[in-house]
Structure 1
Amino acid sequence: MSETRLTEAEYDAITEAAAQWCMRLHEPDCTDQEREAFAVWLNADPLHAFEYEAMLDIWDVSEHLPPPAPTPAPVIAM
């Protein structure tokens, strides 16, 4: 059985989709239809599930990071 090779752009698109799904599914207004669309996407390719799991790991780690420092307001000279 031969392995299908993805281009860097194709792999990046899967990674981006996994990140988008991760963010969307964590939103309180995520609909049942979106969750169904996610399930279809997730089951379409084993790489989708792999990348989504990686995004969940990143999500979990990010919850332990300190919040970013506020950006100082720009000084306007008069």
Structure 2
Amino acid sequence: MITDFKEIENSALNLDRKNKARLADKLLQSIQGKIDPEIEQAWVDEVQKRKESLKSGDASLHSATDVLKEARKRIEK
């Protein structure tokens, strides 16, 4: 069994993207506690809604640079 932090870290960094995400989720749950299933489902639903909105063209993506530039303009008024 791996017990050295560096070994664990190296093993984790060598995981594929999906398993890294699963591991990150498990680690966060161990720190924060279990997430309310209703809240988690609400976020899943929201992500799906936004994804469909992008696919259909009802929404669009903007770079962080452009968003911050626009926000600064509005604040200065």
Fold shared per TM-score above 0.5: no
Question: Bigger radius of gyration, 1 or 2?
Answer: 2
Higher relative contact order (CA 8 A, sep 6+): 1
Shorter-chain TM range is 0.3 to 0.5
TM-score normalised to structure 2 length: 0.34
